[in-house]
């Protein structure tokens, strides 16, 4: 595999440079003195930002963008072998790396690299740890899978030995990473268009953990079923965390009127400190435990970590307040798996609202089919459910699955649920039925956020 060495800057070309993750990695290389070019289908704020940093960005993608002098090409999973740039790079014999392989290469240039993995909570926990590391003045380089206000985007470029990133399991991309410290937040059945089943997913997380060096450490949730199968015989140190369990555990938990938790972190018989969050829900207490366990392994002081955590107000599309209109509060959330939906709605139900409305846009046909009954159970926590069409993402409809099937199953449980095929119909319905004191959550990994934004006039 082509090796990226910060001491030997080269010309790197990004196919799909405008993506949230690709743009961040391109920015890191630009700041390190690399020559960066790239292409995308259209201009965007991210491509404009990269151009301002010195990247040469072309539109659209074409074979002519693969010019002489390019040393290595980076591409995303969205780029297929019939792509003209892909074919041109192959014809020229230019070394090629996937986005995940490049990320792994970048990490090798940092003595301390931290990777946050798990089916749920990666972006939030990476963001929590970002706040902790910055508050402790570690000056880390950060790559996060969402827009984090405190770093002004999805990447922060530091000048220290510390690198922090998310590690995604989809298509086993995290097996290209080699962290010195890794976090496993949870393991759930998801991405079943790639993985065979839950055991297949667990096998991949075990492989990921095995890549941690002997002098490194794994921070893993003690609540994961059959925990020992994932950790037995690992060469690295294993540290567990959990809400009321594990080596680092949250105890003496309380919640404020906004559902944000405070807790003592306990290790053995010792209380390490009291920590208060500015994001709601039990799941975020668990995420905070993971971030704190990693922080203690890095030797960080408890008081500074507490301050960093309290300053974290969330990332874009993670229980993000979009505004209020007519006495109705509108929140947007990225949840698109039953577990994520459940914890988000449980947190919402603890808040002082008259009713919780959930506008849900299912994400991919395979996920909706495989987890249909789990979706129904999770969505039933809301008082009212409105369903949008399935967001296809990378798929086509070959399974005969649709959102009205979800509506019918919810109705069978006695839950008030509606399905509308267009956003305009959903917006009209909500304007006529939501009442002052209600909480409206737009939920999903697609473009459902547009509904709340249009209602608010954003």
Catalytic residues, by residue number, are: 122-123, 166
Q: At what angle do helices 403-412 and 372-379 cross, to 10 degrees?
A: 60
Alpha helices in 282-337 (DSSP H): 282-297, 302-311
- CA distance linking residue 314 with residue 298, whole number of Å: 23
**DSSP-based three-state secondary structure for 50:** helix
Q: For tokens 């709601």, what's the residue?
A: 280
Alpha helices in 93-197 (DSSP H): 99-107, 122-135
Separation of CA 360 from chain center? 18
- CA distance linking residue 404 with residue 410, whole number of Å: 10
- CA distance linking residue 325 with residue 307, whole number of Å: 33
* CA-based nearest residue to 415, from 407, 427, 425: 407
At 389, phi and psi to the nearest 5? -60, 155
* CA-based nearest residue to 58, from 71, 29, 66, 19: 66
């Amino acid at each position: 595999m082509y090796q990226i060495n910060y001491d030997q800057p080269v010309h790197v070309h990004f196919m799909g440079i405008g993506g949230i993750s690709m743009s961040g990695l391109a920015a890191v290389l630009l700041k390190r003195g690399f020559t960066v070019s790239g292409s995308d289908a259209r201009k965007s704020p991210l491509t404009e930002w990269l151009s301002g940093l010195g990247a040469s960005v072309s539109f659209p993608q074409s074979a002519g963008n693969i010019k002489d002098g390019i040393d290595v090409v980076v591409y995303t999973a969205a780029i297929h072998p019939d792509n003209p740039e892909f074919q041109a790079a192959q014809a020229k014999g230019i070394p090629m790396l996937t986005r995940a392989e490049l990320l792994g290469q970048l990490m090798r240039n940092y003595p301390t690299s931290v990777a946050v993995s798990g089916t749920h909570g990666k972006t939030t926990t990476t963001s929590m740890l970002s706040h902790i590391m910055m508050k402790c003045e570690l000056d880390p380089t950060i790559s996060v899978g969402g827009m984090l206000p405190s770093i002004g985007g999805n990447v922060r470029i530091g000048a220290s030995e510390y690198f922090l990133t998310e590690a995604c399991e989809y298509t086993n991309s995290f097996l290209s990473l080699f962290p010195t410290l890794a976090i496993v937040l949870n393991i759930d059945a998801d991405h079943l268009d790639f993985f065979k089943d839950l055991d297949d997913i667990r096998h991949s997380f075990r492989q990921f953990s095995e890549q941690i060096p002997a002098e490194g450490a794994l921070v893993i949730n003690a609540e994961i079923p059959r925990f020992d199968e994932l950790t037995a015989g690992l060469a690295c140190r294993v540290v567990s965390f959990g809400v009321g369990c594990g080596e680092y555990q949250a105890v003496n938990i309380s919640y404020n009127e906004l559902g944000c938790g405070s807790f003592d972190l306990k290790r053995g018989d010792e209380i390490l400190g009291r920590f208060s969050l500015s994001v709601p829900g039990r799941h975020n207490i668990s995420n905070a435990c993971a971030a704190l366990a990693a922080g203690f392994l890095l030797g960080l002081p408890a008081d500074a970590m507490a301050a960093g955590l309290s300053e974290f107000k969330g990332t874009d599309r993670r229980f993000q307040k979009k505004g209020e209109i007519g006495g109705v509060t509108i929140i947007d959330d990225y949840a698109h798996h039953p577990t994520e939906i459940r914890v988000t709605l449980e947190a919402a139900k603890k808040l002082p609202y008259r009713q919780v409305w959930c506008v849900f846009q299912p994400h991919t046909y395979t996920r909706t089919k495989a987890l249909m009954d789990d979706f129904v159970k999770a969505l039933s926590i809301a008082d009212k459910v409105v369903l949008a069409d399935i967001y296809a993402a990378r798929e086509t409809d070959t399974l005969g699955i649709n959102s009205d099937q979800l509506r019918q199953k919810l109705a069978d449980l006695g839950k008030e649920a509606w399905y509308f095929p267009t956003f305009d119909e959903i917006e009209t319905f909500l304007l006529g039925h939501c009442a002052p004191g209600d909480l409206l959550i737009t939920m999903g990994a697609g473009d459902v956020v547009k509904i709340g934004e249009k209602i608010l006039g954003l």
